[in-house]
Structure 1
């Protein structure tokens, strides 16, 4: 057993270090183990890859990605920002507040952390820079707020976890509401403390007087006018999530509704996209969706090999030999996932490690919905931590600074999110309260 584990993960790590795409590395390491062991026919690869794609819930992923791309290009993100701006006014660190709240709402539309940073950050990071905010802080707060994408429903990561674990995706969406709010509140507190210390107000710094005056004029736009402009954008998460929670549509059907809704609003009401834009938007969504689904196919075969070789059971027996205390085991899993998130893309980590870790926590009596939230929150922290830190890379590129310069401000933000992680881990009622309440 130990030899198989070393062989499987040794080949995988070697291929990743050689910069082989992770999906190919997963499939190749699995195939090599199957060839060496000789206990499984190679036709299993084709069968497993095909059956993993033949999943109704997975259809939601390309549709939610397409809806997010349409809404981002079609003006919804911009109008959300202007609406929140009309409410925040001149509060300390108001641009940071706008970034966090707008990211929270947009995450409830797109379901993607990277898409949230790219959309909201592209609008607000330049404003923060011109208003005297440190570039490192502007990049860090936008990247961290984008981390709400995997937590706030409808999260693409939740869909994948639900498929891999057999857990209700609707219940996972409901469970993500309270943790998402808790993360957003923690970011707001950190934003206030840092902006108070650094002296960041709105945009009244003299060195940017001309830009500040322009932005302040925009802030004077009445709340009601901004609400009228943003009403269609604000209705999107209500329509999507309300349909799911009300039992009107499944998560997959809700994704299709999101696409149709976004096309109608952005084409006929906001009029910011037209037929010329459609091809580019569809191609971008297809590239993103295709890469994710190739991951799913390869990871399903990898998981099948793990199951056949009884590696999850071996790992569970090994850990239980160290300790049977669920609190300590959850601590070890948290540490492990935090390290994984630093080096591996979120979707790949879910697909690889959920089949390994889920049997361990189920044996301890831990609710799979609660565990799903632990996994997603852990891996969302990886979006802002080096060396991978994809959200931080996006934010840094928008702010036109090096990745390293943003790290100074990431430390207090990461600390606050770490506190939230341990609260979610050891107080499961925060996650399970709404699913139990709505589910009766």
Structure 2
């Protein structure tokens, strides 16, 4: 489809997205920032351990590194269907191991384990931070982040003359970041994290801490149309869904839902992942609050839709042979409709028609994405959600270059267009 003109609010939207990324160095921070913004906008934060209000309202919960928010419209009944936007808060990188303070030859290093499938070379020679959560002996949870603190140093070319023709990184020996010099006895990474969270290190009983690139997001290129940042897979969809949900009014024919799961990069098999019970728990409790019986719950689900929004691939100018020869989405051409014959994406003909209606209603273009037959296709939460809940699901997302790099690349118009199309989806397109 022909690309549309840039949206007049592009600058404000992209600036807000940049601020969201900087506030969200880990899945736990992303969930907390989403909840903070929603509560600031009038949503009520709920506790899963307590009874929830019934009837209309705007609500949000956080479960570990996942967040679910929803708007129950006035006049909702047991048969009111759902319009859900599914995304994920986690990104590939490195996670801190137990006994994290290590070292070699006078250097102080962090013991890390590879999380998901990062492009390892892209993490070299960048100032990284540690970010995540600390859990104290009393069970309380505290977010922590260090700011620039670590670096994975690459070997100088003088010591590896073949580095530009065949760089090979050992996942254990070559990925340990440095954070100083000195004696191990004089350094304690856990103490650094505790100070950053303003808690007593002796009270820390557990932690989930990962690395994040600290370079600020940036617009650049012709007309400042390109946007580079870390964690756009998949904060691009979380932010687009958040921005769209904030436009949903108090009346309507559907319950609008934003579900941003954790652990998608690992396969989603956790209590806060898409294969877990989180979304079914929330939707079930919403339906119970509306007085739905089992038959009515099934009928509401049968009329419901889920947009599985996750970043996809723009055609790469330096590797065009890696893409389908006919379907070649380009950055700036609009968000993607992701299709796969083997159900790696959940899109079918009905889903394609729904996405077309949403994009037409929003006044934005979209592009089909399908993999080259010789390149294995990745997957998303879409097939998982469709399988678990039986809700019709369609896979979409913004096109990126350098997916799973420490710093990915998008077009600003696609970021705005995705949010606009999600808004139309919530509005009933």
Does TM-score exceed 0.5, indicating one fold?
A: no
Q: Which structure ranks higher in relative contact order (CA pairs < 8 Å, sequence separation ≥ 6)?
A: 1
TM range (shorter): under 0.3
Q: TM-score, normalised by structure 2?
A: 0.21
Between Structure 1 and Structure 2, the one with more helix by share is 1
Between Structure 1 and Structure 2, the one with more strand by share is 2
